[in-house]
Structure 1
Amino acid sequence: MSVAEQASTVVMGHVAGTDPAMLRSYMESGLGGFILMGANIPATEGELQSLTTALTVDPELPPLIAVDQEGGIVSRLHGDDYPASSSLKHLPVAETTSAFTARGSLVGRAGITVNFGTVADVTADPGTFIYGRALGTDPASAADRVSAATTAQEQFVASTLKHFPGHGAAPGDSHHVIPSTTMGLDQWRETEAVPFAAGIDAGASLLMYGHLAYTAVDASPASLSAKWHEIAREELGFDGVAVTDDLGMLLSSGDPAYADPVANGVSAIAAGNDLVLMIAGSDASTAGAMAAGIATAVEKGTLPAERLEEAATRVVALRLELAAAAAPWAVCDDCTPAG
């Protein structure tokens, strides 16, 4: 791959709409992935399958097609009536396995290959915005359910743990601010880290970095922190694709340090992310501009060429792995859903 091609493959873009021709045209620039949001989901599963097929310009190297299908509070797809975190945290672990087996099947059947669906954050405080989405109220119970959800989904899709290093310790909604905590590494290892470690051990393909500042570790948000990427790789043994949470959330924080989306994308790759995600505040040109900015940074020497090559290699490896593992799905109109 050329530098420009590498830069494109580490960007996951988004535009609204359900027109397969328009979305295919958008993906012809060579982006490595596309995230489906609510405005991309048509009325029927057959239409959704046609849409995801259209996103694949090169069948030998299909893009990563992602969705946030946690179930419950965060749910994009029709037909996901399976138990979600709000109830699973109080039920036996086997219920998490059943729910995420069904959920992973639903996602995979639609032609979606990546689910940003496993919330590994842990909190016992029902007043926090992440409480209803967390799979456990203490590290051990969260770890058991995160592990179960990961194992269940990886049969069908590449599953993702989020929001590393853990939203529970950092109060505030990262869609609007950059939540922070003074928690140190020793306490983190005993608490917030536990569910992430369990999900990594269970084989999660991706790890999503949150816009969370653990100031005792690094003043920067984890999504832009080389230190947190080092911890995930060296301490927790994560060897999959590191992906940012939506970089548009940094724009929404109002912090002038993060007002330039292209600069944010370059900083994210430099910090150790392999895939940058941009949704909020973006348009049809944003992902391409981010890819061009990443390539320019390499050409100017402000982003090491080997860092981009490492990121692109991980993303392409996952794309090829998912292409090789893809199983044919057929919609059964007269089947009775499993109860």
Structure 2
Amino acid sequence: MFAASRDPHGRRRRRLVASVLVGAFLLALPACTAQTPPSGGIASPEARPTPDALEVAREAVAAMSVRDRIASLLVFHLPGTDPQALGAFVDEVRPGGLIFMGDNIGDSPDAVAALAGAVQDPSLPLLLAVDQEGGDVNRLPGDSWPAGEQLHGLDGTVVGNAFAARADLVVRCGLNTNFGIVADVTADPASFIFSRSLGTTPDESSAHVTAAVEAESAASVLSTLKHFPGHGAAPGDSHSSVPHTDMSLDTWRTTDALPFAAGVDAGAPMVMFGHLVYSSVDDVPATMSTRWHEILRDDLGFDGIMISDDMVMLENSGDPAYANRLDNAIRTLDAGMTMLLYVADGQQPVDPGELIDGLEAAVSDGRIAPETIDAAATIVMAQRLALAADA
């Protein structure tokens, strides 16, 4: 499916172009950050790109083919620890990022870092991500710090210390993005998300989310808040169903919204959407709801990367309305999502080329506006240039 050999000349040309872009990006940053590159990504308040910096990202996107713009919005998982296979995949597909799952993880941080280094391009970094919540969701070797339910009732300092250590581990493993801050809130021990949540009340969860984001930002790890707009209110497991709740928007604003608002205010550069239906707001999952994207942008003031939860989960939900992979992708991007996540599934294998072909055709025939792709690709490009500037 992918070329066995890599294209060193093509990669060298891309690195040369990227180095010029990074130089221009640095010059366009505010004077207070131009000499000290941003450590927390584009959503840190002091490091948000100026209009000039965004223009550099916009010009970089304009120089890309439509196909490469689309690919830059996708985060894939390729099983295994073969650096040649992973490198060939990146060179062929040119995704915006990769997620490392359990089958990508060696027996030590050095082993993980070696694999990450084989695919990473410092001149225009991929978002190399991992679900490192700790506790129940623990991918990387050596994470014994408290997480999830273990942090309920504890001081925010304890949370900050745990996530500072966790972020340091992510960095030592050669990764730059953690899908690890659960902003869902519930006091119900029977809830699917209870053991992974950081608090049992909106106030506790908000304080803990803030501490976690600040700790990860200090380590130059891109924090991700999940699962917007909140799994705690929607019972059920979104890996095998589409959880529903009839919670009103007014109630949400004073409860489940608070940890996400706190994380956004703390500077989290990414928010992961859950495949959750809040029927009083929209009758489709938040992932593909234009209204929920508007609420996050306009009401919570978030201007970073919105990323879906694993899109294959929708197909595995059993709901025939979400059985078509390409249709799901089109609807989700059209709603305003910045990036789509795909985890390899033995039952539902992901063919990146086929998916990108379909999305390219959707742009060509108007099912997705080209401006929608360009806007999302610019946000992703700005974050990747910020990572390069911070290297």
TM-score between both structures, scaled by the size of structure 1: 0.94
8 Å contact 1:249–1:280 — kept in the other structure? no
Partner of 2:382: 317
1:172 aligns with 2:236: yes
Looking at structure 2, the residues matched to 203 and 289 of structure 1 have their Cα atoms a distance apart, in angstroms, of 35
AA aligned to 2:263 is: G
1:38 aligns with 2:106: no
Residue number among 305, 312, 315 corresponding to 1:251 in the alignment: 315
Partner of 1:307: 372
Matches within 5 A, 1:87-166: 87-155=150-218, 156-166=220-230
8 Å contact 1:11–1:277 — kept in the other structure? yes
Q: CA deviation at 1:289?
A: 2.2
Looking at structure 1, the residues matched to 352 and 98 of structure 2 have their Cα atoms a distance apart, in angstroms, of 10
Partner of 1:226: 290
Aligned-CA RMSD value: 1.2
8 Å contact 1:213–1:221 — kept in the other structure? yes
Residue number among 196, 200, 223 corresponding to 2:260 in the alignment: 196
Residue number among 113, 121, 129 corresponding to 1:49 in the alignment: 113
Q: Secondary structure at the match of 2:355?
A: helix
Partner of 1:330: none
Paired residues, number: 325
Looking at structure 2, the residues matched to 140 and 21 of structure 1 have their Cα atoms a distance apart, in angstroms, of 47
Q: CA deviation at 1:86?
A: 1.5
1:65 aligns with 2:135: no
Matches within 5 A, 1:206-285: 206-281=270-345
Looking at structure 2, the residues matched to 89 and 310 of structure 1 have their Cα atoms a distance apart, in angstroms, of 39
1:2 aligns with 2:65: yes
- Greater mean alpha carbon deviation, residues 254-263 or residues 106-115: 254-263
8 Å contact 2:116–2:175 — kept in the other structure? yes
Q: Please give the per-residue CA displacement for 1:159-203, whole angstroms capped at 9, x wherever unaligned.
A: 000000000110000001000001111000000000000000000
8 Å contact 1:26–1:284 — kept in the other structure? no
- List alignment gaps of at least 5 residues for structure 2: 1-63
Q: CA deviation at 1:280?
A: 4.9
Q: Please give the per-residue CA displacement for 1:14-57, whole angstroms capped at 9, x wherever unaligned.
A: 1110011111111112111100000000112222111001122x
- List alignment gaps of at least 5 residues for structure 1: 327-339
AA aligned to 2:100 is: L
- Greater mean alpha carbon deviation, residues 284-293 or residues 199-208: 284-293
Q: Secondary structure at the match of 1:70?
A: strand
8 Å contact 1:8–1:288 — kept in the other structure? no
Q: Secondary structure at the match of 2:373?
A: helix
Q: Secondary structure at the match of 2:75?
A: strand
Q: CA deviation at 1:317?
A: 1.1
Q: CA deviation at 1:325?
A: 1.5
Higher Cα radius of gyration: 2
1:292 aligns with 2:357: yes
Looking at structure 2, the residues matched to 287 and 217 of structure 1 have their Cα atoms a distance apart, in angstroms, of 32
Instruction: Give the helix-richer structure, 1 or 2.
Output: 2
Looking at structure 2, the residues matched to 8 and 43 of structure 1 have their Cα atoms a distance apart, in angstroms, of 31
Q: Using the aligned pairs only, state the percent identity.
A: 49
- Greater mean alpha carbon deviation, residues 37-46 or residues 196-205: 37-46
Question: Quick one: structure 1 residues 70 and 266, their matched pair in 2 at CA, closer, same or farther if it must change by over 3 Å?
Answer: same
Looking at structure 2, the residues matched to 26 and 253 of structure 1 have their Cα atoms a distance apart, in angstroms, of 28
Q: Secondary structure at the match of 2:133?
A: coil
Q: CA deviation at 1:209?
A: 0.4
Looking at structure 2, the residues matched to 239 and 260 of structure 1 have their Cα atoms a distance apart, in angstroms, of 29
